[in-house]
Structure 1
Amino acid sequence: MENSTCSHDLRRKELREEKRKPSQSEVWGYGFLFVTLISLCSLLGVSVLPFMGKDFYKQLLTALIGLAVGSLAASSVFHLIPQAFNLANSDGHHNYLRISLMMWGGIWVFFMTERIMKIINDARQKKVSCEKVPSPMPTGSSQTNSSHQLQKTYENEPLQQSHDMCVISAPGAIYEYQEQAIKASFGHQEKPHVSHEHVMHFEQGKDSAIATVAWMVIFGDGLHNFIDGLSIGAAFNESILTGISISVAVMCEEFPHELGDFAVLLNAGMSLKQALLYNFLSACTCYLGLILGILLGEIEASTYIFGFAAGMFLYISLVDMVPEMNEVAEEASKISVKKAFHILFLQNLGMAIGVTTLYVLALYQDSINFT
Structure 2
Amino acid sequence: MQLIAILTATLAAGIGSVWIAALLMRFGLGNGNRVGTQHLLSLAAGALLATAFMHLLPEAFEESHAHAHDLFPILLVGLVFFFLLDKAELWHHGHEHYDAHRAEASAHNHAHSGHDHHHGHQAAQTPGHPHGKKGGGWSILTGDSVHCFGDGVLIASAFMADMRLGIVAAVSVLAHEVPHHIGDLVVMNQTSVDRRVALIKVSLAGAVTALGGLVGYFLLNQLHDVLTYLLVIASSSFIYVALADLIPQLQKRLSAAETFAQVAWLVGGILIVTVVSRLAHVH
Cross-structure match for 1:337? none
Q: What's the offset of the Cα at 1:248?
A: 1.1
SS in 1 for 2:136: helix
* CA distance 1:252–1:46, change in 2 (3 Å): closer
* CA distance 1:89–1:267, change in 2 (3 Å): same
Deviations, residues 1-43 of structure 1 (Å, cap 9, x unaligned) = xxxxxxxxxxxxxxxxxxxxxxxx1x12222222222212213
Cross-structure match for 2:3? 28
Cross-structure match for 2:17? 41
Q: What's the offset of the Cα at 1:69?
A: 0.5
* CA distance 1:345–1:274, change in 2 (3 Å): same
Unaligned runs of 5+ in 1: 1-24, 91-95, 97-185, 204-208, 333-339
Q: What percentage of aligned pairs have identical amino acids?
A: 22
Q: What's the offset of the Cα at 1:78?
A: 1.6
Preserved CA contact (<8 Å) 1:236 1:244:
yes
Cross-structure match for 1:64? 40
Cross-structure match for 2:241? 316
- Once superposed, which parts of structure 1, at least 4 consecutive aligned residues long, lie more than 6 Å away? 53-56, 189-195
Residue 247 (structure 1) aligned with residue 170 (structure 2): yes
Letter in 2 for 1:290: G
* CA distance 1:218–1:210, change in 2 (3 Å): farther
Deviations, residues 163-201 of structure 1 (Å, cap 9, x unaligned) = xxxxxxxxxxxxxxxxxxxxxxx98x8996786635576
Cross-structure match for 1:220? 143
Letter in 1 for 2:204: L
Preserved CA contact (<8 Å) 1:238 1:297:
no
Deviations, residues 41-71 of structure 1 (Å, cap 9, x unaligned) = 2133433344328999543332211010011
Which region of structure 1 is more displaced relative to structure 2, 64-73 or 39-48? 39-48
* CA distance 1:210–1:294, change in 2 (3 Å): farther
* CA distance 1:235–1:55, change in 2 (3 Å): closer
Deviations, residues 211-253 of structure 1 (Å, cap 9, x unaligned) = 4532222122111111111011111122110001101111111
**Equivalences for 1:115-194 in 2 at 5 Å?**
none
Q: Among 249, 256, 265, which residue is 1:341 paired with?
A: 256
Task: Say which one has the larger Rg.
Answer: 1
Letter in 1 for 2:18: S
Q: What's the offset of the Cα at 1:314?
A: 1.4
Residue 302 (structure 1) aligned with residue 264 (structure 2): no
SS in 1 for 2:281: coil
Preserved CA contact (<8 Å) 1:234 1:296:
no
SS in 1 for 2:242: helix
Preserved CA contact (<8 Å) 1:62 1:346:
no
**Equivalences for 1:249-328 in 2 at 5 Å?**
249-268=172-191, 271-298=194-221, 299-300=223-224, 301-326=226-251
Preserved CA contact (<8 Å) 1:70 1:353:
yes
* CA distance 1:293–1:369, change in 2 (3 Å): farther
| Number of aligned residues | 232
Preserved CA contact (<8 Å) 1:75 1:249:
yes
**C-alpha distance in 1 between matches for 2:64 and 2:282:** 16
Preserved CA contact (<8 Å) 1:210 1:269:
yes
Preserved CA contact (<8 Å) 2:157 2:230:
yes
Which structure is richer in relative contact order (CA contacts within 8 A, separation 6 or more)? 2
Cross-structure match for 2:76? none
**C-alpha distance in 1 between matches for 2:203 and 2:275:** 32
TM-align CA RMSD? 3.5
Letter in 2 for 1:342: A
SS in 1 for 2:216: helix
Q: What's the offset of the Cα at 1:292?
A: 1.4
**C-alpha distance in 2 between matches for 1:44 and 1:53:** 11
Normalising to structure 1: TM-score of the pair? 0.54
Letter in 2 for 1:242: L
* CA distance 1:201–1:287, change in 2 (3 Å): same
**C-alpha distance in 1 between matches for 2:30 and 2:219:** 46
Deviations, residues 252-311 of structure 1 (Å, cap 9, x unaligned) = 111111111111222356641332122111101101110112112223132222122222
